[in-house]
Amino acid sequence: MPPYHFTLGAAQIFAIQDGVLTADVSKLYRRNGAPVAEGFADAATSLSVNCFLIKTPERIVLIDAGSGQLFGPDHGKLSAGLNALGLSPADIDDIILTHIHADHTGGLIRDGAPIFPNAMVLAGRTEAGFWLSPGAADAPDATERVKGQIGRAHLCLDPYEAEGRLTIFDDNGPILPGFSATLRAGHTPGHLAIQFESEGTAMLFVGDIVHGENVQFRDPAITIDFDYDQPSAAKARAQVFEQAANDGYLIAAAHLPFPGVGSITKEGAAYRFETLQKKDEMP
């Protein structure tokens, strides 16, 4: 899948598909923490893994890094996507993480070593503290799933920390010029929405605030099995949808069908997502 390109203010923005997760998503949805008995005929049967590159006059920034080698041969296509844009991993200045799950951090490494030789990796304070704090896996409430996720977090981020290239930023506030964070916890304890603004125009990179294009727009209260705190995840989704609809922001989501970019319109208690239709020619 070739990269998808559009402009926002003075920035060039590209969606890059790192891979596709095959899953019967209807069986993963939850209502009030329980499986949804009636199922969803229009639920996705796969989830795209989207990364986003923002090229400003000053720097090249990546939002999330995909799965890399961690999820099998159908993943790890981020580097090829960069190559299609005439770039290499060495050209990336900064990598902002919406959260620290392996399908967003696995692409940081290859064979245990950093792929991006010059990039600073930036993570939110709450998120980094939860996954990377010493002894996190020994916490009494750490499930086997969480312990595995903690192990993969260290696998992907420790090589950057060892080189002094892991920076922790405050959950709510500026990250880099033009980029700011808002804590939207629930999917993970420190999950973030990243706002980017250029020349008075803004959009939101929303990470895993939504999985699949139909069900959760129709009913934002529907959560997914992967959400760490399901009530908080539902609340965060409603907040992001409301903000995007009210302010007219484009959203860019990691697990909507590629390119994962579009607008949200409120329709009563539900929302409608429309994929961005205008595809610019790549410069």
Q: What is the mean pLDDT of residues 192-207?
A: 98
What is the arithmetic mean of pLDDT over 260-272?
A: 96
pLDDT grade for 205, boundaries at 50, 70 and 90 = very high
C-alpha angle with apex 181: 175 to 186, nearest 5 degrees? 140
Assess contact for 96 and 194: CB atoms under 8 A.
yes
pLDDT at residue 279 in the model: 55
Q: Residue 277 above 90 pLDDT?
A: no
pLDDT digits (tens, 9 = 90+) for 107-152: 999 999 999 999 999 999 999 999 999 999 998 888 999 999 999 9
Q: Report pLDDT for 282.
A: 39
Query: What does the pLDDT look like over 57-111, one tens digit per residue?
Result: 999 999 999 999 898 888 899 999 999 999 999 999 999 999 999 999 999 999 9
Q: Averaged over 5-21, what is the pLDDT? A: 97
The per-residue pLDDT of the chain, averaged, comes to 94
Q: What is the DSSP string of 151-212?
A: HHHHHHHHHHHHTT-EEEE-SSEEEETTEEEEE--SSSTT-EEEEEEETTEEEEEEETS--S
Residue 153's pLDDT is 98
Q: What is the mean pLDDT of residues 190-198?
A: 99
pLDDT at 281: 41
Q: pLDDT digit string (tens) for 218-262?
A: 999 999 999 999 999 999 999 999 999 999 999 999 999 999 999
DSSP the chain: ---EEEEETTEEEEEEEEEEEE--GGGTEEETTEE-TT--TT--SEEEEEEEEEE-SS-EEEE----TTTT-TT---HHHHHHHTT--GGG--EEE-S---HHHHGGGEETTEES-SSPEEEEEHHHHHHHHSTTGGGSTT--HHHHHHHHHHHHHHHHHHHTT-EEEE-SSEEEETTEEEEE--SSSTT-EEEEEEETTEEEEEEETS--SSSHHHH-TT-EETT-SSHHHHHHHHHHHHHHHHHHT-EEEETTSSTT-EEEEEEETTEEEEEE----PPP-
pTM: 0.96
Is the domain defined by 4-275 classed in CATH 3.60.15.10?
yes
% of the chain at pLDDT higher than 90: 84
- Hey, where are the domains in the chain? 4-275
pLDDT confidence of residue 36: 82
pLDDT range class, residue 278, cuts 50, 70, 90: low
